[in-house]
Structure 1
Amino acid sequence: MEIKQYLDICIQKKASDLHIIPGYYPAIRVNGTIYQLKTLMIIPEEESKRLILSILNDQQKEILFSNKQIDFAYQYNNYRFRCNAYFANSKLASAIRLLDNKILTIEQLNLPPIFHNFIHFNQGLILITGPTGEGKSTTLASLINEINLDQSKHIITIEDPIEYVYPPAKSLVSQRELYQDAPSWNIALKAALREDPDVVLVGEMRDYDSIQLVLTLAETGHLVFSSLHTGNTVEAINRIVDVFPSPQQAQIRKQLSSVLKVVIAQRLITNLTNTERIPALEILLNNSAVATIVRDGRFHMLNNVIATSEGEGMILFENYLLSLLKRNLISKETAVNSALRPKEFSKLMNP
C-alpha cells in the first residue's frame, strides 16, 4: 500500500490520527480510542521507512535524520495533515493528524458564546492550555479566523508546522512555518515586532526565550494567542512564571498580571451517544482580583476566584462538566473520569 491509501482510510473513518509504527498494524484513533487495523498487514521496518519518506522533501529528510524527528504539514487532495516523524528503537515511525478541511466556527466547535468576546481585545495574551490532542489548535484557528473574517487586521502566525490555512478575507494573514519561513521560534518572534502585526498567533510557548518574547509582544500593543501543555488554568500561569530564574520571577508576575486577558484549559470528552468528542473547559479571566493574585504570586487563591466569578464568565472545569451532565451531553461516568479535581467534583455531585 501507499501512504495515500492509509490517509484515505483515516478520512473515511473520520479518525483524528493515523499511526505508522514498525512491527504493528497501522492504527487510527477515533473519538479518542486507538484501533489497530488488523485486516491489513503488520508494517515491517523498511515499509514504514518507505511510507514516511515518500511524503518528505529533501530538506525535511535532512532535518529528520539530523534531529531524529520532525514536525511537518502534508496536503492530500482537499485535506491537510499535521505529521510528526520520529525514531523509536532506531526505526522510523510517524503520527499523522487529520485536520479539518475547513476552519470551524465557535458554534460548530460547541464552544460557549463568551469566546466571541475574546477577539475584541486590542492587546494582551490569550492562552489555551491542555494535553496534546485536546483541540487547542482547532480552537485557536477558530478564534483567529473569526478575526480574519470580521476585522481589518494584520495577523501573523508562527507555527511548527502550519496547520490551518486561513482564507483571504478582511484581514491580511502572514503564516510563517518554522524552518521553511524562519530558522527558529526566537528569530520569528523578534522579527514579528518589525512586521507591523495587530494579532500574533504563536503555536506554542516552548521555552524561556519564546515565553519572554510572547510577553513582550503582548505588552507592546499586540493581541497574542498561544498554547501551553498544562492540566488547568492555574498550572499554566505557574508554568510561565517557573520558567524564569527566581530573581526574575517578581518582574514576570507583574508583567503577566498586566498583559494576561484569558486562560482557557480545554479537554475533549466523549459525548453521551459516544459519536464524537466535545470540549470541556475551564475559563480564567483577568480582573483586578486575579491581577493582584498573579502579581503577588498567591496562585493557590485562583481556583476560589474562578469558582466565585461565574457571573463574569469564569468557570472551573468541574462546574463545566456538571453543566454538560445536566444538559445530558455526557454520561455521569465520563464526567467522573474526566474531572481534574475528583474530590471537588464529588462535592458538586453530592452537595
Structure 2
Amino acid sequence: MIPVTPENISTVLDDLTRAGASDIQLKTGQPPLIALHGVWTPQTQYALLTGNDVTNLHQKLCRDTRYRDIPDSQPWDADYRTSTSLSNFRVSGGKEHGRPYLVLRPLPREIPSFNELRLLDDEMGEAPHGVGHLTEGFKWVMRQKRGLILVTGPTGSGKSTTLASFVDHVNRTQCHNIITIEDPIEFVFRSKRSQILQREVGVDTGSFSGALRAALRQKPDIILVGEMRDAETINAAFRAAATGHLVLSTLHNNESAATVERIINEFPAEEQNRARHALSEILVGIFAQQLVPTIAGKRQVIHEAMVLTSNQRSIIRPNGETDNGYLQSLRDTLKARNPYGNRSMDNELKRAVAAGIISEEVAQEYAIQPEKWSAE
C-alpha cells in the first residue's frame, strides 16, 4: 500500500481528483476516502492514516498561520484554501474524538462558463415551450444595476461554482468594479473587462458584515458575499442592495419560497413586515439548486429559478396576512411559463424523470413537496 506523506500529498490529491472525487476525506484510522457521484469510497491502495499523519499533512497543506497549529486540549475547526499542480482545494479541518481530520473539495482552476455548468436545459435540449433557457435568467439578473441575487442549496451542491460563473460572465462582458467577501476565497478571478477585488474574512477583514460596510465606501458596482450567515450580514446586504449595488450571496435552502421565509425569520417578529417590504423591493432572483443522482450513476444539477416579477413582489410584500400563505402563493407562481427561465424544483425533477435522466423514486426523494407529487 502507498503511504500518504507530506512529500507525496500533492500527487495523491491530484490522482484522487483525476479519479472524479468531488470531495476527499483524510481521517485517522482510515485510508483516504473520496466522494464519487455522492458515494464515499475508501481508496484502499493507500495506507491507513494515523493522527500524526493527518497533522503533518495539514501543516504541509495549510498556508494560513491562523490554522497551522492544531491545539491539543481544545476544539479546533479551520477553513482555508490550498492548491496543487492540478486543482485548487477548499479545506475544512476539525477534530473527531480529539483526533484531526481534513475534508478537501477540489475546485477547477478555470471558472466554468454558463454553458459548462451542465444545466438540465443543456442536457435535455430545448426548454419547454414558452420557458426561457435557464441561462437567460442568469444573464438577465446580472444585467441589473441594483438588488439582491441569491444562489441557494445544501452544502456541496455547487453554489460557489454557480456564483463564480455569474461573476466571470460579468467580468468577460461588462465593465464593473466587483468586490468579493469570502471565507475562504475559493475561485481566484483575474480582472478582464471588470476590476475585481477579493477579500478573505479572517485574513483581510474581520467579518462579512464589517467588510460589507467597508465595501460601500469603495465605489463597487457588484458585491459578492460568500454567505449570508446571520441577521447582521443580511441587514448589511439589504442596505447595500437598496443603495444602488448588485449584491450576490448564498443561503442553505432547497427552494426559493423557503429562502424568502428564512431571510424574513432572521428578523425579530416586530420587524418582519418591514423586512418583507424591503425584500420585495430589492430581491432580483433566487436560484435554488440540488445535485441529484442519475440513473447512469452520476449527478445532475437541478435548478429552481425565481426571477422576480411584479406579481411575486406583491406576494412577498406584507398585506395583512398573519400566516405563511404567501409561501404557497410564491410556489404557485413558478408553475407559470416565463421567458426568464422561472421554474419550480418539482417540475424540473419531473422533467428529468420524463427524459430518463433520474428515477421517479430519486425525484420524489429530492422533491420540495413530495406529498403533492402525484396530484400535479
Contact preservation (8 Å) 1:126, 1:226? yes
Contact preservation (8 Å) 2:141, 2:307? no
User: For residues 228 and 67 of structure 1, what CA distance do their matches in structure 2 show?
Assistant: 26
User: For residues 77 and 57 of structure 1, what CA distance do their matches in structure 2 show?
Assistant: 16
Deviation at 1:331, TM superposition (A): 3.3
TM-superposition CA deviations, 1:285-325 (whole Å, max 9, x none): 22222112212163332111222354653211011112223
Q: Could you tell which deviates more after superposition, 50-59 or 238-247?
A: 50-59
Match of 2:364 in 1: 336
Contact preservation (8 Å) 1:10, 1:16? no
Decide whether aligned partners of structure 1 residues 313 and 5 sit closer, same or farther in structure 2, where only a CA change above 3 A counts. closer
TM-superposition CA deviations, 1:142-186 (whole Å, max 9, x none): 111000000000011100111111123100000111112112212
Deviation at 1:39, TM superposition (A): 2.7
TM-score by length of 1: 0.93
Does residue 316 of structure 2 align to residue 294 of structure 1? Answer: yes
Match of 1:177 in 2: 200
User: For residues 212 and 64 of structure 1, what CA distance do their matches in structure 2 show?
Assistant: 34
User: For residues 93 and 5 of structure 1, what CA distance do their matches in structure 2 show?
Assistant: 19
RCO greater where, 1 or 2, for CA within 8 Å and sep 6 or more? 2
Match of residue 45, structure 1, among 41, 51, 62 = 51
Deviation at 1:92, TM superposition (A): 1.1
Q: Which consecutive residues of structure 1, in runs of 5 or more, have no partner in the other structure?
A: none
Q: Which consecutive residues of structure 2, in runs of 5 or more, have no partner in the other structure?
A: 120-133
What secondary structure sits across from 1:19 in the alignment? strand
Count of equivalent residues: 347
Q: Could you tell which deviates more after superposition, 201-210 or 107-116?
A: 107-116
Contact preservation (8 Å) 1:281, 1:317? yes
Q: How does 1:17-96 map to 2 (within 5 A)?
A: 17-57=23-63, 59-61=65-67, 65=71, 68-96=76-104
User: For residues 94 and 68 of structure 1, what CA distance do their matches in structure 2 show?
Assistant: 11
Match of residue 166, structure 1, among 178, 189, 193 = 189
Match of 1:279 in 2: 301
Match of residue 147, structure 2, among 113, 124, 146 = 124
Match of residue 219, structure 1, among 242, 250, 263 = 242
Aligned AA for 1:258? E
Decide whether aligned partners of structure 1 residues 51 and 284 sit closer, same or farther in structure 2, where only a CA change above 3 A counts. same
Contact preservation (8 Å) 1:64, 1:85? no
Deviation at 1:330, TM superposition (A): 2.8
Q: Could you tell which deviates more after superposition, 112-121 or 63-72?
A: 63-72
Higher helix share: 1
Match of 2:108 in 1: 100
Does residue 270 of structure 2 align to residue 262 of structure 1? Answer: no
User: For residues 287 and 169 of structure 1, what CA distance do their matches in structure 2 show?
Assistant: 32
Q: Could you tell which deviates more after superposition, 278-287 or 212-221?
A: 278-287
TM-superposition CA deviations, 1:223-256 (whole Å, max 9, x none): 1110001121111111111111111111111111
Match of 1:239 in 2: 262
Match of residue 342, structure 2, among 290, 297, 314 = 314
TM-score by length of 2: 0.87
Deviation at 1:25, TM superposition (A): 2.3
What secondary structure sits across from 1:120 in the alignment? coil
Aligned AA for 2:286? V
CA-based RMSD of the aligned residues comes to 1.9
Match of 1:8 in 2: 14
User: For residues 12 and 139 of structure 2, what CA distance do their matches in structure 1 show?
Assistant: 37
Decide whether aligned partners of structure 1 residues 342 and 195 sit closer, same or farther in structure 2, where only a CA change above 3 A counts. same
Q: Percent identity?
A: 31
Aligned AA for 1:287? T
User: For residues 60 and 78 of structure 1, what CA distance do their matches in structure 2 show?
Assistant: 25
Deviation at 1:67, TM superposition (A): 6.5
What secondary structure sits across from 2:257 in the alignment? helix
User: For residues 67 and 147 of structure 1, what CA distance do their matches in structure 2 show?
Assistant: 41
Decide whether aligned partners of structure 1 residues 134 and 198 sit closer, same or farther in structure 2, where only a CA change above 3 A counts. same
Deviation at 1:337, TM superposition (A): 2.9
Deviation at 1:64, TM superposition (A): 5.9
Deviation at 1:49, TM superposition (A): 1.4
User: For residues 285 and 113 of structure 1, what CA distance do their matches in structure 2 show?
Assistant: 12
What secondary structure sits across from 1:39 in the alignment? coil
Contact preservation (8 Å) 1:219, 1:259? yes
